[in-house]
């Protein structure tokens, strides 16, 4: 398999591992935004959130909570960004679902710097209706 994260998972490429369980692996990003920047992957290969099974996605989320607490305790960070991209249009570089945990401090000069623009309320309402219509209903 050509997936770099699967190769890291399998020990074929070195990494600085922080945590591992049966479903997830957390390791340090080699191009950190800030000190302590780490990645969490599902051990099962899935390119995007659209391909993830609910149990694998839940496992990544649980590991993210555990790692967020560890980062805060170890580095005394004042905040944390969780970042996850799906597909090239969203700037996903490695086609294996992964979650970035980026510790943040006031004045660190890092962040999401897109300009906030007030949305049209009617367009927001119509878009919400389109999305709501596609949400599967729970069957009991």
Active-site positions read 98
Q: Per the structure block, which two tokens stand in for 130?
A: 């389109």
Residue 134 and residue 64: Cα distance in Å, rounded? 28
- Measured CA to CA, the distance from residue 95 to residue 85 in angstroms comes to 10
Q: Which positions ≥6 away from 47 have C-beta within 8 Å?
A: 95, 96, 97
Of the candidates 44, 31, 46, the one whose C-alpha atom is nearest the C-alpha of residue 102 is 31
Contact 65, 73 (CB under 8 A): no
């Amino acid at each position: 398999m050509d997936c770099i994260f699967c190769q890291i998972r399998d020990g074929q490429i070195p990494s600085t591992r922080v945590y591992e369980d049966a479903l997830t692996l957390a390791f340090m990003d080699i191009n950190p935004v800030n000190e302590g920047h780490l990645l969490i992957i599902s051990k099962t290969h899935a390119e995007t959130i659209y391909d993830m099974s609910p149990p694998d996605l839940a496992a990544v989320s649980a590991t993210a909570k555990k790692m967020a607490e560890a980062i805060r305790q170890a580095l005394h960070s004042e905040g944390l960004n969780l970042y996850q991209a799906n597909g090239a249009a969203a700037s996903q570089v490695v086609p294996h679902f992964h979650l970035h945990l980026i510790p943040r401090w006031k004045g660190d000069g890092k962040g999401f710097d897109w300009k906030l623009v007030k949305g049209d309320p009617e367009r927001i309402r119509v878009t919400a209706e389109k999305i709501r219509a596609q949400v599967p209903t729970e069957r009991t």
